[in-house]
Structure 1
Amino acid sequence: MISDDAVVNLFALAHPGRLAVFRTIVKAGPDGMAAGKIASANGIPANTASTHLSILTGAGLLSAYRDGRSIIYRVNFSHYADLMGFLLEDCTENNAEAATALHEYFKGHPASVAPVRAAKA
């Protein structure tokens, strides 16, 4: 990821409403969530949700697909990981104190791992 891409992504997340929408979709997991349910879960009008979803999708943080009459939004976790990697690596380059502080933070706050679904027999 380059700086310009990171700025677009950070802009997309730098609004309380968009951040709330993004968090809602992250919590929905890999199956994603329909646009109407996203709006309801955040207590916002459909047109406001649509604007937030459009900005987040345009930044590459979300992907969308149609399922019947609904549009389902999912987090693009590989893109999100690229953003986090950029922030961790590029922004802490040659700064041992920052790298150590981040390492300590993540050691104390391990990422939760979603349970793996058992294969159907």
Structure 2
Amino acid sequence: MKPATAAQKLGVYLPATPREFQEGLVSREELDELQHNPPQWLVDLRRNGPHPRSVVAARLRVSNSGLARGGITEPLTTAQIAALIAEPPPWLMRERETYAEVRREQRRLQEQRDETD
């Protein structure tokens, strides 16, 4: 698979990975090995970042769109995410509320569908 796909499956930001990873193809066996026995670079990248948008959004409990509305367009490190969590700006509070409301509505609709089945 392409390095971008492998990085996405590993939950890491591709430009922060080693050059060998970025330039080569990753077999399914290699991906499984990376997931089950991660090398130090992968452990460090997952711990410290920079993190891709999906990871940043999940850690901040907002949507990817919420990040964009908040002006977050670049990958963030774990320290930057922690700083936002420690002192959440107004946009983050708003986006968390919006995201929570969307999730509640999705659960309500799923329960409604489950009842009709």
Structure with bigger strand share is 1
TM-score under structure 1 normalisation? 0.27
More helix by share: 2
Query: Normalised by the size of structure 2, how large is the TM-score?
Result: 0.27
